[in-house]
């Protein structure tokens, strides 16, 4: 999952891959050299602690 300021550009492919890599590390899932195929949903408008954000959900296929 990636959150950006509301209205900001969609995260780059590298940023999306980095988010997946962080999740893999947090879940103790084996690292891979390159995450080739993944899906992205969003943006979803959310509010966290009074901040207006857009949230993107990223998953490996």
pLDDT computed for residue 36 by the predictor: 75
HSE-CB of 30 using CA atoms within 13 angstroms: 2
Domain count, the chain: 1
d(CA 24, CA 5): 24
59, 53 contact by CB (below 8 A): no
Q: What are phi and psi of 12, to 5 degrees?
A: -70, 165
pLDDT computed for residue 61 by the predictor: 85
pLDDT computed for residue 28 by the predictor: 95
pLDDT computed for residue 12 by the predictor: 96
Structural domain harbouring 23:
2-60
Write out pLDDT tens, residues 1-56. Answer: 999 999 999 999 999 989 998 999 999 998 887 777 899 999 999 999 999 999 99
pLDDT computed for residue 37 by the predictor: 87
């Amino acid at each position: 999952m990636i959150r950006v300021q509301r209205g900001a550009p969609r995260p780059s492919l590298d940023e999306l891959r980095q988010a997946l890599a962080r999740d893999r590390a947090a879940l103790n899932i084996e690292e891979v050299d390159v995450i080739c195929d993944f899906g992205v949903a969003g943006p979803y408008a959310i509010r966290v602690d009074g901040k207006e954000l857009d949230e993107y959900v990223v998953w490996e296929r």
